[in-house]
Chain A
Amino acid sequence: MTEIERQQYDVVVIGAGGAGLRAAIEARLQGKKVAIISKSLFGKAHTVMAEGGAAAAMGNVNSNDNWMVHFRDTMRGGKFLNNWRMAELHAKEAPDRVWELEAWGALFDRTKDGKISQRNFGGHEYPRLAHVGDRTGLELIRTTQQKIVALQQEDHRDHGDYEARIKVWAETTVTRLLKNGEQICGAFAYVRETGKFVVFEAPAVILATGGIGKTFKVTSNSWEYTGDGHALAMLAGGTLLNMEFVQFHPTGMVWPPSVKGLLVTESVRGDRGVLKNSDGKRFMFDYIPDVFKDKYATTEEEGDRWYDDPDHNLRPPELLPRDEVARAINSEVKAGRGTPHGGVYLTVVDRMPGGAAEIVKRLPSMHHQFKELADVDITKEPMEVGPTCHYVMGGVEVDADTAAAIVPGLFAVGECSGGMHGSNRLGGNSLTDLLVFGRRAGLGACEYIESLGADLPSVPDAEVEAAAAEALAPLEREGGENPYTVHHELQQMMNDLVGIIRKEEELALALEALEKLRERVSNVSVAPVAASGGRGYHPGWHLALDLRNMLLVSECIARAALERQESRGGHTRDDYPAMSAEWRKVNLICRLSGDGGVSLKHQPMEPMRADLIELFENDELKKYLTADELPEETK
């Protein structure tokens, strides 16, 4: 059998994005020995791409803001399907987590009195997003990366070894979680450079693997987003929550084809950008849904006044939550009012008081991105934009306070976890989600380990052998299909049949197609390379292994989408266009079925705590809740 390296840690964190790094920092601060595993190099995780900012009710720009307002916005954005305990913890703890970054060296943009500046974003009542130009994610990842380096420097001082208590395993991919009976006992991985296998023995594993966008063709996500954490959790007996909710960001680039899907940050709209159709009309005014009628401006004049005088005007409907804007764009294009390349126009031309110079200052990376990739100067011409698969709200079912999954020893945090964002995530809420629950997952894992005492689970040989055999299979098979072909077909199918607007017939077709793809995935093969016994830096082999995960995740999305007969947030059913208060009470839970497919069950939503319900006006609650759920006096 092939050589396998063994490593012992207290906590293994899978993922080096904001969530994973924050979790690792916490576990190390609690005195644990930690490994951070990442598919790409240290500092490159998807979090670097976040542009707009990190939402936290610090109240620096508008002192009326506080955690209760933030909580309400988050619940509204998620259409009340959120795990309300997570939304509560998030709203309460986000400011501390942002301030902590500053104490680790982050340099946010400032207000006039020297505090952290905050900007407007869709669905947030007050300016709430701490930001650094439009590269906030880079700042977050660099700061946490540098904090880890700072901790390594401490260890170097104390133990003579930078990696004594925290080591980053860059370009290493986990393909299986390992279990001893019911408990997690480690993870199985290969090092990308050499293809060498490594078994990480650890009583606690934290999943922080990000999203699933690479299952769709048009996406703002990178190759890393193959739903690994989602799939790893399921394969280890975990459950996934509400996987039908996939966020299509309203503004992705639509041209040139090679960058189709690439994100155009929502800050463009927060900073006065407006959407127009090919008739030159600001069409969003036609798409304000009833639940938001009294919260958005009905005339362009009022909407425009709001940027300078938000206390006396309503905000423009370009800043509705993402699901609303994405559907509106979709409808305009369908009605024949789209741009030449099938999008709508988004423009900042003549919209900023400081003219072109202010555009370049406020939106430097958008200016750069359009100039370099599309030959468009956004200070002179409008951008063409359309919806793109951006974020998955669904994810590993976890306990709100500790991030613990149902499998003992398994934790999940960040985009791969579920619940926090309900049916639709507000912009900016992800970055602070990573920090708030990253810290909590680190603490949760440490508490769990303490509870085990000396009774640590060992890694059974059979688990390791099975994982190794599975990883080697595509290399050992001969004459199978090319993994790239299968991947392209999966992406096209998901885009066509499980995309932004869904129907029963198409979802049924998708499930049939997935059945066939499952067979093809189990039959892909790749030829060994010359380096390192055939497995040295072999992208074809890597993709062959990722396919299993994408397939499982796709099946969860399609099954849950077929089951949920209503439209809510990131799930729009053409055949069930209304939101249903009955369905709001239902969480859809996916787990692995006996035959390796996916089984689905309904799980009732826990009723919201009374003191949290009281934060809402009764008129608003009536829009979401069934009569039975309303507080006594409203009935």
Chain B
Amino acid sequence: MTYKAKFKVWRGDEGQGELTDYTVEVNEGEVVLDILHRLQATQTPDLALRWNCKAGKCGSCSAEINGMPRLMCMTRMSTFTEDETITVTPVRTFPVIRDLVTDVSWNYQKAREVPAFDGGDVKPGEFRMMQQDVERSQEFRKCIECFLCNNVCHVVRDHEENKEAFAGPRFLMRVAELEMHPADVLDRREIAQDEFGLGMCNITKCCTEVCPEHIKITDNALIPMKERVAGKKYDPIVWLGSKLGIVKKGENTPTA
């Protein structure tokens, strides 16, 4: 079962670099991350990459494998043929630090602008929520912050200039998560549109396709958010009523 695979790995820093060829041993059941670890241990100890859990749970090991944005720890070698050359490059939308490691700070900046959860006056221990009501937001909270969706979204992938006005699917989904949270009392619809660029999303669903957690980002978060924003323009009363009887205290919460 052991064979030698041909790899091309992007090596370099701050924009300068090139694909470097390697031939590495592959054993049964291994994933791409195993192969890169073997490269580190045997051929190039300074190969920079991120990983933590090796189980698809932390979202650290995002890269592009043969051009597809993926988690390296969840990409099995058995999905390639033995004579296929496997090309591993850093995710494209974020600036390269070194080799496969990119500067993902833009994501953390956007995270900071979304007004945090506000549970109103309910005391700890006194929240009562029904399973069917928490499930919508729970789907979005499965997010492991691999940022593959933000990487693949065409609004920012080739348009650096849009990064200012667009939070990317990950953080538009965070807005949706809070909006659908049964105990949250703020109203982030206006800023979703005006500050986080919900309107720039033209529902191509590329983000949904790459999500390793199989979250239906477009169908379950972005489209319903668009409807809520549109609904607000026409009939704010219906919106208030639809929030499980909770009256939103903050109309038009500003960005944080």
Residues of A bordering B, CB below 8 Å: 40-46, 48-49, 95-96, 99-100, 102-105, 107-110, 113-115, 117, 132-133, 135, 138-139, 142, 146-147, 149-150, 152-153, 156-157, 162, 193, 222-224, 255-259, 262-263, 365, 368-369, 372-374, 482-485, 488, 526-527, 529-531, 536-541
Contacts and interface: CB of A to CB of B under 8 A. Distances in A.
Interface majority SS (helix, strand, loop, mixed), chain B:
loop
A256 B45 contact: no
B29 interface: yes
B48 A373 contact: no
Contacts of B42: 484
A620 to B, nearest CB: 32
A138 B144 contact: yes
Interface string B51-72: 1111111111000000000000
A44 B46 contact: no
B215 interface: no
B206 interface: no
A105 B184 contact: yes
Contacts of B141: 107, 132, 138-139, 142
B119 A258 contact: no
Given A44-B60, A149-B112, A103 B119 contact: yes
A484 B40 contact: yes
A517 B205 CA distance: 53
Contacts of A153: 112, 115-116, 256
A255 to B, nearest CB: 7
Nearest to B34: A258
Interface stretch (B127-135, B159-167, B193-201): B127-135
Given A537-B98, A539-B47, 5 more contacts: A117-B131, A222-B54, A484-B45, A527-B45, A539-B49
Nearest to A253: B55
A530 B122 CA distance: 55
B117 A99 contact: no
A173 B3 CA distance: 37
A477 to B, nearest CB: 14
Interface of B: 13-14, 27-31, 34, 40-42, 45-60, 74, 76, 97-99, 101, 104, 108, 111-112, 115-117, 119, 122-125, 127-131, 134, 137-138, 141-142, 144-145, 178, 181, 184, 256
B256 A156 contact: yes
A261 B106 CA distance: 34
A156 B115 CA distance: 12
A365 B116 CA distance: 27
A540 B55 CA distance: 23
Contact of B76 (A40, A99, A263, A373): A373
A104 to B, nearest CB: 7
Contacts of A223: 51-52
Given A49-B58, A100-B124, A113-B128, A259 B29 contact: yes
A526 B76 contact: no
Contacts of B116: 105, 146-147, 149-150, 153
Nearest to A368: B56
Nearest to A488: B41
A222 B55 CA distance: 10
A258 B55 contact: no
B181 A105 contact: yes
Contacts of A162: 112
Contacts of B98: 193, 529, 531, 536-537
The 3 A-B pairs of least Cβ separation, nearest first, read: A256-B29, A105-B117, A540-B45
Nearest to B103: A193
B58 A48 contact: yes
A149 B111 contact: yes
30 contacts: A43-B145, A44-B59, A96-B125, A99-B125, A107-B138, A110-B129, A113-B128, A114-B129, A139-B141, A146-B117, A149-B111, A150-B116, A152-B112, A156-B112, A156-B256, A157-B256, A222-B54, A222-B58, A224-B52, A257-B27, A257-B28, A373-B31, A374-B29, A484-B40, A484-B41, A536-B13, A536-B98, A537-B48, A537-B97, A537-B98
A259 B77 CA distance: 13
A558 B14 CA distance: 45
B29 A258 contact: yes
A222 B47 CA distance: 18
A420 B124 CA distance: 26
B52 to A, nearest CB: 5
Contacts of A48: 52-53, 57-58, 144
B13 A530 contact: yes
B59 to A, nearest CB: 7
Contact of A258 (B30, B48, B56, B144): B30
